[in-house]
Amino acid sequence: MKAASLLVLRISLGLLMVFWGLDKIVNVEHGLEVSRHFYLDLFSSAALLKVFGALQIALGLAVVLGWLRRFAYPLLLLITGVTLLGVWRSVVDPWGWYLEGGNVLFYPSLIIFAAAWVLYCFRDEDTHSVDRRRH
C-alpha cells in the first residue's frame, strides 16, 4: 500500500511540474504575469521562461517515472518551496483579511510542498520507480 500511495503521489506531483512547465511555454504572458506578481519580476523574460518551462517539463517527467530521484526530488522540493515562499501571504492569511495579496486558491502551495517533502523523505520506499534500488 505504501509503495502504491507513493507512486500516486509521485505521478501527481510530476504531472503538476509538467503542467506548470507547459504553461510557461504555451502561455508565456501568464508566466510573465506570475513573475511580476510573485517573484519580484526576476523571471520576466519570455526566452528565460521558455527555458524554465522545458526544464520543468523534463523534471516533471523524471518525477513521474521515478528516474534520477537523487536529483529530481531535491529539485522538486526547491521549486515547490520557492513557490510556497512566493505565495506565503496566501498561506498565512488565505482570505487577505490582514495581509494584502492573500488568496485562498494559493493555499494548496503548502500542501504541494508537504507532498514533495513526503516523497523525498520516503524515497527509499518508493519502489515502483525506474531507478529503484535493487536489494
Looking at per-residue pLDDT, the higher value among 38 and 55 belongs to: 55
Distance CA 24, CA 92 (A): 27
Residue 135: all three cell numbers together: 536489494
Mean pLDDT in residue range 70-91: 94
**pTM of this structure:** 0.87
- Residue of 91, 63, 58, 57 whose CA lies nearest to 76: 63
CA pair distance 33, 94, nearest whole angstrom: 20
Cα 77 from Cα 73, distance rounded (Å): 6
Task: Identify the pLDDT of residue 35.
Answer: 77
